[in-house]
Structure 1
Amino acid sequence: MNNVVLREVSSAEDAIKVAEFFRTVWQDGDDVAPFDLILAAVHVGAYCVIAEVDGHAVGASFGIRGSFNSENILHSHVTAATVSGVGFQIKQHQMEWATENSIDAITWTFDPLVRRNCYFNFVKLGAIAIEYLPNFYGSMTDSINLGDVSDRLFAYWSVKTKSTESSLASLRNAGPGEVVVEIPEDIETMRSLDLESALKVRMLVRDQLLDLMNTGWQVTAMTPDRTSLILSKTE
């Protein structure tokens, strides 16, 4: 969308607007990023951007600086968009900001069972996943995640390679020595209709991914039909 305006957040007014936007996305749960935390973090060098159309929020992202494996990182704690294409624009803005601020990589967490998020992260962005984090946030109370456990993949997006374009190389068949792990077609619908079955599927995928990633495997791609994750062994 050409009429989307992205602005870096620096005022209490904008921090409140971002916090309220997140609240509309994760309904019925705790604040994912309270406005006072956003404002305090930005004051000491954190990242926060709001995407607007005609002054109305359609996307936002909040992240903090940190260190991981001796690299300077921007950890994107929460990103959301309600208009198609805005999420990709925000990630490109993150990459530009990270480059200008001497950041080595951008990291974030996401649910490994949501296929569209896997496609976005591995294929559109060209990120990889380097850790499996079981029930990372504990029990969540928002309407999206209610009743499920918060297993997450830890995504790693190298700033050095400046991967801001679509990475079709990450949509491929598994090669020799690689492992394929299937993920469900629609875990969100399954969770709403049959929570017990959804939890069984999650545990099955957890057992496979956790065993592999704890021994040096990384998620690097998806199969062309988008049904499965492809893992490669690190050197």
Structure 2
Amino acid sequence: MEIRELREIAEFEQVYELFDGIWHPEPRNVPATVELMIGFAHTGNYVAGAFDGDRLVGASVGFRGGGRSLHSHVTGAAVTGRGIGYALKTHQREWCRKKGLDTITWTFDPLVRRNARFNLVKLGARIEQYLPDFYGEMADAINEGDASDRILAVWSVREAAGASPAPGVATCPVVLEAGEDGRPVAGKSEADVVLVGTPPDVERLRREDPAAARAWREAMREVLGGLLEAGGHVVTLTNHGEYVVTKH
């Protein structure tokens, strides 16, 4: 697999088609237009593609944020399980090193367990903020019908990748978990370290039981969002898909 920055209109058109195949967005909700990618690349921002031979199999678009930071706006891969996302992130990190940047930020849906595991465990990014309905209504096949709550992730360019050591969690209380019907059950605890569960597959849940998916959204906003707003910190994600949150 070859990862490289993109410069030609035909390459940006391939990225547009790749993203369209992943998200199937309505015209008013495309992740990045060809014109925007051209503008980003021309002004020294990050637009890169992953190629398997001549075929584009993944792409990432980002722009410089405040201070010495890159905001990774959208990253997508045509297939899963081939390490395309990790390869793009690694390339993006090296690009930032060469440009003298210190951090990479991006947002992700706190309900999507596999993304949380990738970001927190594999990459070792840290969570900085819970952002309720960050993008407003999103008209695409993955997000439609749900509020666009997001978590702001921050990844150090200089530090070693990988998750932080997790505190012992075997006896930590769970303050959000799935009940017998799959719907969220929220609780409270005075413990210093708590676990916040996630649904196994929220994207499937949105298709099969939209009301349950919305219940998870509301519960996650109240529980995880509330903990972060009160000064809590997410340490990592357990093997069972629970956020490990320290309150101090």
Question: TM-score scaled to structure 1, two decimals?
Answer: 0.89
Which residue matches 1:63?
62
| Deviation sequence 1:45-94 (CA, Å, 0-9, x none) | 11010011121111000000011xxx411100000112321100001001
| 1:27 and 2:24 matched | yes
CA-based RMSD: 1.9
**CA deviations over 1:140-196 (Å, ceiling 9, x no partner):** 111111111111110010112142xx4373596378822221111111111111101
Contact 2:50 2:59 in 1 (8 A): yes
What is the identity, as a one-letter code, of the residue corresponding to 1:31? V
Greater CA radius of gyration, 1 or 2?
Answer: 2
- Conserved in 2, the CA contact under 8 Å of 1:126 and 1:157? yes
Note closer, same or farther for the CA distance 1:232–1:98 as it changes in structure 2 (3 Å cut).
farther
Aligned partner of 1:81 in structure 2 is 77
Q: Is the 8 A contact 2:101 2:157 kept in 1?
A: yes
Distance 2:169 2:128 in 1: 20
- Distance in 1 of aligned mates of 2:160 and 2:47: 20
Contact 1:51–1:57 (8 Å) recurs in 2:
yes
Equivalents in 2 of 1:157, 1:203: separation in Å?
Answer: 27
Describe how 1:149-228 pairs up with structure 2 within 5 A. Answer: 149-163=147-161, 166-167=162-163, 169=165, 173=169, 177-223=192-238, 225-228=239-242
Across the two proteins, how many residue pairs are aligned to each other? 225
Q: Which residue, 7, 11, 15 being the options, matches 2:8?
A: 11
Q: Does 1:229 align with 2:228?
A: no
Give distance in 1, aligned partners of 2:229 and 2:112. 21
Alignment partners' CA distance in 1, 2:242 and 2:74:
25
What is the CA–CA distance in structure 2 between the aligned matches of 1:65 and 1:51, rounded to whole Å? 21
Judge conservation of contact 1:6–1:51 (CA < 8 Å) in 2.
Answer: yes
CA contact (8 A) 1:172 1:221 kept: no
The Cα of 1:25 is off from its aligned counterpart by 0.8
CA pair 49-216 structure 1, distance change in 2 beyond 3 A: same
Give the alignment's TM-score, normalised by structure 2.
Answer: 0.85
Q: Secondary structure at the match of 2:68?
A: strand
Unaligned 5+ segments in structure 1 are: none
Percent identity at matched positions?
40
